[in-house]
A = this chain, B = another copy of it.
Amino acid sequence: MYCFESLIRVRYGETDRMGYLYYGHYPEYFEVSRTDMIRSLGLSYKEIEDMGIIMPVRSLKVDYRLPARYDELLKVKSCLSKLPEIKLDIDYEIKNEEDKLICTGNTVLAFVDVKSRRPRRAPDFFLEAVRRYF
């Protein structure tokens, strides 16, 4: 298992008229956190794409427990619990400044060849970088 935590501050434009972080922005927070997690492994999502592999999201789940407010500095944690051979399955947890769990989530991403637009296995260098955690 491998986890990484990002800090993301809630922007004004991300709140809605309820005064809370809009529910539709959580997937982008997950994306920021998983990009940081990949970077923390010495990899770069951008370089993976530049090599001709895109990683479209296949599924998303979010459970909203407590609201997040404007200007709060949230801890967004991404955890890889399985070796990502065919799919990248990531669990998320968001905690607020008082360390209360405000949200859990999951995304599953595929590895897709950008030219053929067909699914493929994770590239070897990616598996190498994470294998030691499993």
A residues near B (Cβ < 8 Å) are 9, 11-13, 15-20, 22-28, 31-32, 35, 44-46, 49, 54, 56-64, 67, 70-71
Does B62 lie within 8 Å of A59, measured CB to CB?
A: yes
**Contact of A31 (CB < 8 Å), options: B18, B24, B26, B59:** B24
Closest residue of chain B to A27 (Cβ to Cβ) is B24
Does A13 lie within 8 Å of B35, measured CB to CB?
A: no
Closest residue of chain B to A67 (Cβ to Cβ) is B56
For A18, what are the chain B residues with a Cβ–Cβ distance below 8 Å?
17, 49, 54, 56
Does A32 lie within 8 Å of B59, measured CB to CB?
A: no
With A44-B71, A45-B71 as known contacts, state yes or no: A35 contacts B61, CB within 8 Å.
no
The answer for the CA separation of A71 and B32 in the assembled complex, in Å, is 10
The answer for the CA separation of A72 and B61 in the assembled complex, in Å, is 25
Does A31 lie within 8 Å of B56, measured CB to CB?
A: no
With A17-B12, A35-B12 as known contacts, state yes or no: A23 contacts B60, CB within 8 Å.
yes
The answer for the CA separation of A107 and B25 in the assembled complex, in Å, is 15
For A58, what are the chain B residues with a Cβ–Cβ distance below 8 Å?
63-64
